[in-house]
Structures are given as structure tokens and as C-alpha cells.
Structure 1
Amino acid sequence: MKEAWETIRHKDFFNEFTLMLLASLGAFYIGEYPEAVAVMLFYAVGEMFQDRAVDKARSHIKSLLDVRPQTATVRRDGRWQTVAPETVGVGEEIEVKTGERVPLDGVLLEPETAFNTAALTGESVPRMIGQNEEVLAGMIPTERVVRLRTVRGYTDSALSRILDMVQNAASRKAPTEQFIRRFARIYTPAVTMLALLLVVLPWLYASWNPGFIYDFQAWLYRALVFLVISCPCALVVSIPLGYFGGIGAASRRGILFKGSNYLDAITHIDAVVFDKTGTLTRGVFRVQEVHPSGGLTADELVAWTAAAESGSNHPIARAIGEYAEQQAIMLPAVRSTEERAGLGLRAMTDRGELLVGKAALLAQNQVAYPEDILQIPDTIVVVALDGRYAGYLLLADEPKPDASRAVTALHALGIRNLCILSGDKSALVGKLAGQLGISRYFGDLMPEDKVRHIEEFQTKEHARVAFVGDGLNDAPVLAASRVGIAMGGLGSDVAIEAADIILQTDQPSKIAEAIRIGRRTRAVVWQNIIGALGVKLLVLALGASGAATLWEAVFADVGVALLAILNAVRLLSNKKD
């Protein structure tokens, strides 16, 4: 009665609370006291099981919340102090003991060590992280005490971002979920009116036909049965719970859906388009060769290149910076740096303008360079200083260990329309595509070219495209595709914000797993819809004809709700999808 009154105060007159209240009061009125109590008791029992099911569905998010440390050990005034993580600033040095959770994102100041990353990525095997590499909040050092220098504040950490994404996912409803909510708003008042007509129409018929004996209590009883079985809670609760279960199951495996609408959208995908570097390849480049020109030495060429790239988080930039550090090369000062999307960087130095990136960047700035460097099939970074060609660095990358497995898994799911779009040279992209068994590829693309290709796939070919990327320049195409999937480990913050799904493990094979989870969730949701409506329509017909009692109605209603909820919870309990 309290819940019904609260909803009526908010002008929501027709819902499961008012249906059950009318049924209980009506049963008391006609003297069916045991059945009135049964309606209240079993509805309360059903509510209890629903609450427990919802708690179970939220358990993974709760466990994520529990991994946020309450304290951080920070070095201040020459000594270690225990403070709240929220008070630690960027650039401060923190210490994390073995078995403790890292409170904030930072770079490792120690030699290479192992970290348990299960809370963030679902990986059961510890990850080795080297000196000066990034360690994320929520990871656990497993070998020794480590020191980190923080790179983000508490609220900006990767863990906080994950929690925000998963918790806000409930606000983005799938089309099926939105339809059921709209359906319930029409369905509930409609069945209430039908129940009323079930009492009134026989009375009107009896007034016109004296031979028809009208028994008010009998027809009221049938209307009460009709009200109880028509309660829509099995649909209204189990369907959102099914989607939330799918989101929870996916996040347990390191796949973050930003909403149930994306969980639904991925089931319709029939084409997957990949970026190359950092997505299908490891993104761990190594400088293989240095080819200086124009009077520069090899060390000078590396120094200028590393100085320009020092502010970038691109894998190539990191590789050049690491190489300069290994060679103990001092970096010259760079006054300002400007990114040229898809081409490289332009920086101002004491020696004049510095251009670092693709050969096309030099061509755009009227800098002459040897034409034969365009024939090099591997990744190169071309450099120009003060308007003159200064040489190039040759780097190597390799496919991720599970990239080939990802292609095989997608083919097994019936998705054979695969493509690679990359800013790298076409020859290099073609080489990778051949290794992985992908027949379509396009190289030498600018960010706007990638968007154009995606739009062509979706308009001319009518493909429902999922794009998978990780870089800053992938943000526009992630937003333009039907479903955008970003690599959460190495991916840029902009790409992660633009994407609909985040792969925390950076494994392309997780794409197929995300599709399987989406398809399984959709199947469970439709099982609940068809099963609940089928049983309700059957018992509604029996109730209207007088063949069903209130006992049967309440057992059918609560039973259908519990079966639907248990079916939804299966998404969380199954280990494999």
C-alpha cells in the first residue's frame, strides 16, 4: 500500500503495486482471506528474490568499487606519509607494498616487476611492467615494494574511468528495454480496464437479458485473477536485469560496454574494420636503424626526433624516446609542438623548424627528400630540420599474439567482411593483412579518409560496421561507425571517450567474445519476453473464463517472474559464452 501510494503521488496510477493492492483488497472484500494473504505473501517473496538477483547482477561492479584503495603512501618533506588518495597530486612519488592495490595511475620508478591486473582486465596471468612504463590504479605488485610517480589525479585514474563507464551504462537503454517500458505503460492501464469490464459487462448483459444470472462476487473474483496475472513485473524487472547481467559478465572479462544499447547493437554487426598499429599489432616498436643526412650524426638525428615526440603517447613516439634513453642521448629543447593529424609533428627549436613524421609532411612543407625512402616497406619516421631533409629512423612492429585468432573467431561467428584501415604505408598494411588472412585493406590514410571509408561501407554496402582502434586520430572514425571499439590499455583517452565498447586487455580476440556475450544476452532477453507473455496470456484466458483461481494466478505471476530472473542471472554465472 505504501509503494502504491508513493507512485500515485507521482501521478503513476497504473503499475504492479496498484494491481496487487486492488487484487488484495478485492479478495478481502469477497471473503477470500487465505487467497488475499497469498497474493501479498508471494508477491513479497517474489520481490525479495528480485532484489537478490539485482544484487547479484551488481556484484561485479561492487567488487570493482572495493578495489579502490582508501589510503596512499606518498613521499613528502623527506618522509613517507599515509594520506587519502584524493589528496595526492600529479607528479608526487608514492610507494605500494607487495599485495597492496595501486591507488593512482603512475609510471614505475623501479626495474621491471610483475603486477596482478585482474581487477582491471580480467587477466589471470600477472603482467610484467618495465621501468618508466605506466601502472594503473587497481593493479597489485606481486614481487616487491614499488615506487611510482603519479601521472593522473584520483578522479582521472583508469579505474575511476572504468567505474564511471560501467555504472553509467545502466542509463543507456537498449531498444528492446525501451520498448518494454513503453509497452508496460500502455499494458498496465489496459488490463486494469479489462478487469473492470470483466465485472461491468456481465452486469450490463444481465440487465438486458433477465435469463442470465449475474453473480457479482464470482465476476469480481475473475477480475482479481485477471489483475494478479497481468502484473508486468516479470518483464519490467527481468529485461533490464538481463542487459545488466550481460554488461557485468562482459566487464568480468575485461570488456566494458558503455550501455545496454551497445550490447544490443553489437549483435547486428556484419563487418569489422581494424586500425593497425596498437590494435592488430603489439604497438611495441623498436628502433632498428638510424639513417642521418644533411651533416647530422645518428645521435643528433635521434635527439631531435625524440625531443619532438616527447609529448606524444603514440607507440612509435615511446619507442624513439626509449631508444634515446638507452643510448644516453641528451635531448635538445623544443619550444612548441603542433600535431598534424595523420602526418606527424611540427616543432620550433633553436635550430629552426623541426618536422617529424611521414614523408607527406615534408612534401606538404616543400622540403625535398630522397624518393627511394617511399619504397621502404617497413615503418619509418622521416625528419627535416630548418627546411632540409635530415634523415629517417626505421622501426619494426609485429602482430599481436592473438590477432590471427581474432580473425578466425570472427569468421566462425559468420562475420567475414573484415578490413584494415591504416595511416601506414599500403605495402606495410598489405603485408599484415596477408599474414592474418584479411583480404581488404587500405593504407596511407588520413583520419578523414578513414571516416570516408566507414561511411561508404555503411551507405553503399549497407554494412553495419564495428571499428576497432586505439589512437587519437581514430576518435572521429570510432564515433562515425555503428559500434566503436577502443583498446583500453594502450589506447588514447580521446579514443576511449569516443568509443562505445572498451577492451581492457587490448586483445583483438575479445571482439568476438563481446559479440558472443551480446548475442547470448539478446537471446536471454527474448526468451524472457516470449515466455512471460505466453504464460500470462494463457492464464489470463483461464482467469477470464473462471478456470483459474487466485492461487494459480499468484503462483503463475511470481513463478514467471522468478524464472525470468533466474534466466537473466545465468549470464553472470556462466563461465563461458
Structure 2
Amino acid sequence: MKILQKNNQHSCCGHDEDSNNKANTNHSVSHDEHDGHDHNHDLGDASLWSIFLPAILSFVMLAIAIVFDNFLPQTWFKAYVRIVWYVVAYIPVGLPVLKESFDSAKKGDVFSEFLLMSIATVGAFAIGEYPEGVAVMLFYAVGEIFQGIAVQRAKKDIKCLLDQRPDEVTIIENQVAKAVKAATVSIGAIIQLKAGDKLGLDGILVSDNASFNTAALTGESVPDTKKKGDSVLAGMINGNTLALVKVTTAYEDSKLSKILEMVQDATSKKAPTELFIRKFAKIYTPIVVLLAIGICLVPMLFVSTYVFSDWLYRALVFLVISCPCALVISIPLGYFGGIGAASKNGILFKGSNFLDLMATIQNVVLDKTGTLTKGVFKVQEVVFDTAFDKNEILKMVNALESQSSHPIATAIHDWVGAVDSTVELVNVEEIPGHGLRAFVKEKELVVGNFKLLEKFRIQHNVAHDSLVYTLIAIAYDAQFVGYITIADVIKADASLAIEKLKKLGIAVTMLSGDKNTVVQDVATKLGIVTAYGGLLPEGKVEKVNEILARKQTVAFVGDGVNDAPVIALSTVGIAMGGLGSDATIETADVVIQDDKPSKIATAITIAKQTKKIVWQNISMAFVVKAAVLLLGAAGLATMWEAVFADVGVALLAILNAVRIQRMKF
């Protein structure tokens, strides 16, 4: 049963899609095809009326025939006229299924649900049960349409949430505004955003300030005010002032583009439950066909009053009941609904398999900077030995830190100001977990934590372990110069995040490369019992390995390049999507797009709820089908009960599956 896909404009996620978005149709998220067949009923140019028209025609003709048969007996409604009437009533809903059965058989998939419905309904006609033959196919067709609508709604929800890039943008060229294709805009170009315009590429704000609606990316409706120099991302909608943005990333490399690619890949990563059901259906269907044949023919050997038509009817009822549609449609749709619900909350799961894993998490291990704290450092104090020229040293430190994207480097740059172009750096080297080193005027400049000084055997007399603030040690020409104290701010919802995780019964651990006094201070404020500071990347890996060695599941949450190895190691890796590095986002299994740590508990809750709904559907389908199968084999169930066991259970399972998208988390 296929319906043409539409190309007309429609309202999506509260925003009207214009013609610019037509080019984005290639980014739509494809739903699972079960049993190798496309069951998507794309709501196309045809209206709902035309979609249901074949079913309506069949229903009207069936209703009239039943009235003639039972309430208004007619002398003319007999023999061939009656048969032809029921055949005509059957054709609108039955012909597409018969065709699908034939096409699937040609592809080698003989035992499809289409074959089951075809055998059952054609068999009903063969034994003279015309009303039931039409009714079974009619209800099956209506069920398929509702399934298609449910799938399309889930697809539309995710597509609308994520595919928010305009096809065209307005750039300023020679002080003239010009509309161009977003994909052709080069890095460094200036984009002009009018009030209500949607940003097409990542960049930095050139205007003094602007307010952006980030709901499409983060699920948050609260406007986000940005200042000059702040990063802004594709998909954000400008508020009520004219804004200028300098492009920093190519169209195809924007975070939104990467997220879109991840969503397209997500449906290919199946959950174990989903994979099992698909394999189960492949084995289950031929078995029930053989059992149906047995139900029809085997009693011939044992039953003295054997009547072929009676036992054939039982076999046909058995086939209708056994159709695995409820399982192979509602289970993928359940996972799809979970991915959609997460997207609405600013959380991206890269596959349904990660929904399953997330539901099993026992430990959440969090990085500190950028995850529980804002990662927006501010210089508090500069303590230098008077033997050194403070201004000269700061110029060199600022030039060196400009080579790094770390938040600490940004804090120093904001404190010192513009980089002095006369400072020449040679052999710049970033030492992971420690800091930076370079040569200035043929003398070694070292900027980083105190472990870096120890690494280069530079003597100092600072009791750095007793100080709460983050310290940046500086050495020049193998001599200790002094240090800069920097403070970070705990995120507003960090405490709520820890509280939610504890309520879910999940153990929380904090790891950081920052000094231990700072880490313990943050841990105390947030109520985290287990926290470790002063860790290099390999130290974080070691701590996560210790938990994994206890046969417990771990979700690691981080944002920096250094977090990529431990994210890859953990059961589920979670990246902060706003502050997170590209490497971390690529490695992670789950991305929190608005950097809110409280969304970690939301992600776990959605995963648990999705798994619960999936297993509810599995249980309901098996219990109902098993009961009616036994009744059908014993001759106690008619085609009407069979229709409920198949189409009824499928519809109930689908309604249950899409329910998660309407839940509040």
C-alpha cells in the first residue's frame, strides 16, 4: 500500500517551511523497512480523503452487501451478482496487497505478511466467506494507512527539529546585500540576518549583541542573547534586531550538518531487540504458513467427520492472526519515537541501539570543565616575580595561548587583550593535559599547570595544592615567573542534574584534569561524593576502566578533545554539543545540544521509557496473538477475532509507540 510523497508546502514544528526548504528533502530521515518492503504511507499531494478513498469505497460496498444479505433480502442479489459485488468491494483494498505479495515473492521474500493476508482473504472467497474476506483486507488496509501516518509523523517531527537550514542566505559584499546559495558561501563572508531570519552557517557574531531563538537546535524556547565575538550556529533564528555574522565553518561542516548526517545514520544502528524481532519475523512467518497447512490437512487423517472447508477456514483464521505486522512495525516505531522525543529535548541519539544501552546505565562519569561548569573562565589574579617585566611576559603568554582553543586560553586573551604581532613564536607545542610550550627570542616559554613545570624540572616555591582557584603556571628561560589564577562558574542546572541522577539510582563520579582542590570544591557544592582531580587523559581512561572492570555500565560525559578516548571507551559516550569539540561529538553516541547537564537524566529517562514501551508492545502482541491462535486452531475464533488479533493489536501497539513523542520529560 503506497501513497505518493508530497512536494507541497506545509507547516513544520511551528515554523512555516518556504520554498527554500524544498532542497532539504534529501535530508529526511528514512524509517525502517520491515521484511524488505516499504511500508511508509507518505502523505503526499493527495489529501487524507484520497488516501482513505479505496478503503471508503470498499467499506460502503461491503456495508451495502451486508444489508442486502441480512436485512433487505433481494432476489437479484444472489449467485454471480453477489460474488461480483464482493469482488469489486475487495479490489480497491486487496489489489495493492496482492501486487505487493507478488513483488516480494519475485525478490525472494516469499513469506511476507502480504502473502499471509492474500492467502487468507482469497481463501475466504474460495470457501464462500465473501464478507469476511473483504472485511479482513479492509481492516488490514486501514491499519496499514494508520501505520504509515504514524511513521510519517515521527519522521516529520525529527526532520523538522533538525533540518532547519535555509537554502539561501544574504551576504554583504562590497557593502551591498546579496542573496546567494548557502552551500556556496565561503569562510570569512559576512551574513546579514534580519529579524526572524534563520542562520544558514556557523559563525561568530560581528554585531554588538543579538538575541537568538535556539529551539530548533536545543528544544529550549528561551531566547539566547549573544555578544560580539560569541559563536552562533546554523539553525538559530535571529530575534528583533539586524545582526551580522562572520562565517567560520563551511556549509557542509557546520554542527547542524553533522547532526543531520548523524540522524540519517541513526536508523541504520538497530537496537538488539529490534534486530531480534526482524530475524524472528523471517523465521516465524514460514513456520506459521506450514502450521496453517497442517491445520487444514492433518485432521483429515484423524477426524472421521472431516470437512475440508471447515478446516480450511480455521487455517485461514490462523494465518490472519499470525501476521507479524504489530511487531515489525510498532517496535522500530517505538525506537524512532524515542529518538524523536529526545530530539525535542535537545538530545541526539545516534542510533536506537544507544537508546537500549542508555536504559541500562548504572554509572555516570562527568568531566568538570564545560560539562558541570560553564567553561567560561575569568582571570582573578596575576602573581609574578618582580624580577620579570609583567607586561612583556603577559604579551608572550597571550601570543602562545592564542594557539589554543581551550577556555583558559580564551580567559587569558580576554584579560590581556589583542595579541601583539611583534611576538614571534617558534616550535609551538601543545602537551595534552599539561599546557603549551614555545620558544620566544630563542628562550623557552612554558605555560600550563604545575605538573608541566615538574615535567621540565623547573623549580618554584608555590604551595599550589592549597589554593582553590585554577592556577596557570608560567616559566621563561627555565625560570619560574609566577602564576595566573582563573575561576570557572558552575552551570545553573548542574546541581539539579546530580539530584536527578541520584533519584534514578545512578552513581555519579566527576573526573578532571584541573587541580584536585578545585575539583573537590566543585564536588562538595554539587553533592558529588566521588571526584578525582589532576588527571591526564589516560588517567580518565583508567578510572572508567576500573568501573567497567566491575561489570557495570558507564556513561561518560565530556566536551574536550582530550575526552574523545574515554568517550569511545565507555558503554555510552555523551558529548556536550555546544561547547564540545568536533572530535568529541563525532566519537560520542549521544549529543546534548544545549550543554545542559540536567539533560543527561532526561536522556536516561527517555531511553528507559522507550524500552518500556517496546517491551509492552512485544508482550501485548505475543499474548493476544497466542490466545487467539489457540482459539483459531480449535475452531473457536472467527475471522473477526483474527482481524482484532492482527490489525487491532498493531494499531494499539502503534498508538502506544507514538505516545512517547507526546510525553513531557
State which of 356, 367, 384 in structure 1 corresponds to 2:475: 384
Query: Per-residue CA shift, 1:475-495, capped at 9, x if unaligned?
Result: 111111111111111111111
CA, structure 1 residues 76+351, in 2 after alignment: closer, same or farther (shift >3 Å)? farther
CA, structure 1 residues 65+404, in 2 after alignment: closer, same or farther (shift >3 Å)? closer
CA, structure 1 residues 383+451, in 2 after alignment: closer, same or farther (shift >3 Å)? same
Amino acid corresponding to residue 447 of structure 1 in structure 2: P
State which of 100, 104, 108 in structure 2 corresponds to 1:11: 108
2:463 alignment counterpart: 372
State which of 381, 395, 410 in structure 2 corresponds to 1:318: 410
Q: Match of 1:338, SS?
A: strand
For 2:450 and 2:151, the matched residues in 1 are separated by 56
Runs of 5+ consecutive residues of structure 1 not aligned to the other structure: 207-211
For 1:419 and 1:74, the matched residues in 2 are separated by 47
- Give the stretch that moved more between structures: 216-225 or 548-557: 548-557
Amino acid corresponding to residue 119 of structure 2 in structure 1: L
1:139 alignment counterpart: 236
State which of 252, 274, 277 in structure 2 corresponds to 1:155: 252
2:44 alignment counterpart: none
Cα contact 1:294–1:389 (8 A) shared by 2: no
1:195 alignment counterpart: 292
Matched, 1:534 2:626: no
- CA deviation after TM superposition for structure 1 residue 158, in Å: 1.4
1:398 alignment counterpart: 489
2:577 alignment counterpart: 488
Query: Per-residue CA shift, 1:159-210, capped at 9, x if unaligned?
Result: 112222222211111111111111111111111111011112112335xxxx
- CA deviation after TM superposition for structure 1 residue 82, in Å: 0.9
Residues 135-284 of structure 1 correspond to what in structure 2 (within 5 A)?
A: 135-206=232-303, 212-284=304-376
- CA deviation after TM superposition for structure 1 residue 336, in Å: 4.6
Query: Per-residue CA shift, 1:502-552, capped at 9, x if unaligned?
Result: 111111111111111111111111110001111101111111111111122
1:209 alignment counterpart: none
For 2:523 and 2:153, the matched residues in 1 are separated by 43
Query: Per-residue CA shift, 1:120-172, capped at 9, x if unaligned?
Result: 01111111111111100011121311111111111111111222222221111
- CA deviation after TM superposition for structure 1 residue 438, in Å: 0.9
Matched, 1:51 2:138: no
Matched, 1:344 2:438: no
For 1:504 and 1:150, the matched residues in 2 are separated by 20
CA, structure 1 residues 213+466, in 2 after alignment: closer, same or farther (shift >3 Å)? same
1:441 alignment counterpart: 531
Structure of greater relative contact order (alpha carbons < 8 Å, 6+ residues apart): 1
Residues 298-309 of structure 1 correspond to what in structure 2 (within 5 A)?
A: 298-309=390-401
Cα contact 2:398–2:419 (8 A) shared by 1: no
- Paired residue total: 568
For 1:340 and 1:113, the matched residues in 2 are separated by 37
For 2:116 and 2:537, the matched residues in 1 are separated by 56
For 2:398 and 2:180, the matched residues in 1 are separated by 36
For 1:98 and 1:296, the matched residues in 2 are separated by 51
- CA deviation after TM superposition for structure 1 residue 75, in Å: 2.6
1:85 alignment counterpart: 182
2:124 alignment counterpart: 27
CA, structure 1 residues 41+354, in 2 after alignment: closer, same or farther (shift >3 Å)? same
1:557 alignment counterpart: 646
- CA deviation after TM superposition for structure 1 residue 380, in Å: 1.3
- CA deviation after TM superposition for structure 1 residue 237, in Å: 0.4
CA, structure 1 residues 2+312, in 2 after alignment: closer, same or farther (shift >3 Å)? farther
- CA deviation after TM superposition for structure 1 residue 311, in Å: 3.2
- CA deviation after TM superposition for structure 1 residue 59, in Å: 2.0
2:198 alignment counterpart: 101
Amino acid corresponding to residue 440 of structure 1 in structure 2: T
- CA deviation after TM superposition for structure 1 residue 65, in Å: 5.2
Cα contact 1:381–1:394 (8 A) shared by 2: yes
Q: Match of 1:262, SS?
A: helix
Q: Match of 2:375, SS?
A: coil
Amino acid corresponding to residue 381 of structure 1 in structure 2: I
CA, structure 1 residues 100+434, in 2 after alignment: closer, same or farther (shift >3 Å)? same
CA, structure 1 residues 34+140, in 2 after alignment: closer, same or farther (shift >3 Å)? same
Q: Match of 2:471, SS?
A: strand
- CA deviation after TM superposition for structure 1 residue 414, in Å: 1.4
Query: Per-residue CA shift, 1:290-327, capped at 9, x if unaligned?
Result: 223474433333322222222322211221122222x7
1:361 alignment counterpart: 452
Amino acid corresponding to residue 408 of structure 2 in structure 1: I
Runs of 5+ consecutive residues of structure 2 not aligned to the other structure: 1-97
Amino acid corresponding to residue 316 of structure 1 in structure 2: I
Query: Per-residue CA shift, 1:38-68, capped at 9, x if unaligned?
Result: 1221111111000000011112222135521
- CA deviation after TM superposition for structure 1 residue 464, in Å: 1.2
For 2:479 and 2:102, the matched residues in 1 are separated by 80
- CA deviation after TM superposition for structure 1 residue 18, in Å: 1.1
Amino acid corresponding to residue 91 of structure 1 in structure 2: G
For 1:99 and 1:298, the matched residues in 2 are separated by 47
State which of 582, 588, 601 in structure 2 corresponds to 1:512: 601
For 1:161 and 1:478, the matched residues in 2 are separated by 18
Cα contact 1:255–1:502 (8 A) shared by 2: yes
2:522 alignment counterpart: 432
Cα contact 2:162–2:217 (8 A) shared by 1: no
1:455 alignment counterpart: 545
For 2:270 and 2:503, the matched residues in 1 are separated by 29
Q: CA RMSD in A?
A: 1.7
For 1:144 and 1:301, the matched residues in 2 are separated by 41
For 2:137 and 2:392, the matched residues in 1 are separated by 82
Amino acid corresponding to residue 545 of structure 1 in structure 2: A
Amino acid corresponding to residue 159 of structure 1 in structure 2: L
For 1:337 and 1:196, the matched residues in 2 are separated by 78
1:292 alignment counterpart: 384
Q: Match of 2:302, SS?
A: helix
Amino acid corresponding to residue 252 of structure 1 in structure 2: K
- CA deviation after TM superposition for structure 1 residue 465, in Å: 1.1
Amino acid corresponding to residue 385 of structure 1 in structure 2: Y
Cα contact 1:61–1:163 (8 A) shared by 2: no
For 1:235 and 1:274, the matched residues in 2 are separated by 37
- Give the stretch that moved more between structures: 401-410 or 550-559: 550-559
For 1:311 and 1:215, the matched residues in 2 are separated by 88
2:561 alignment counterpart: 472
Query: Per-residue CA shift, 1:338-366, capped at 9, x if unaligned?
Result: 22111112234444333221121222223
- CA deviation after TM superposition for structure 1 residue 331, in Å: 7.0
For 1:520 and 1:555, the matched residues in 2 are separated by 26
CA, structure 1 residues 493+82, in 2 after alignment: closer, same or farther (shift >3 Å)? same
Task: Calculate the TM-score normalised by the size of structure 2.
Answer: 0.83
State which of 205, 223, 236 in structure 2 corresponds to 1:126: 223
Q: Match of 2:618, SS?
A: helix
For 2:253 and 2:422, the matched residues in 1 are separated by 30
Cα contact 1:299–1:329 (8 A) shared by 2: no
Amino acid corresponding to residue 569 of structure 1 in structure 2: V
Q: Match of 1:377, SS?
A: coil
Query: Per-residue CA shift, 1:420-448, capped at 9, x if unaligned?
Result: 11111111111111111111111111101
Cα contact 1:292–1:301 (8 A) shared by 2: no
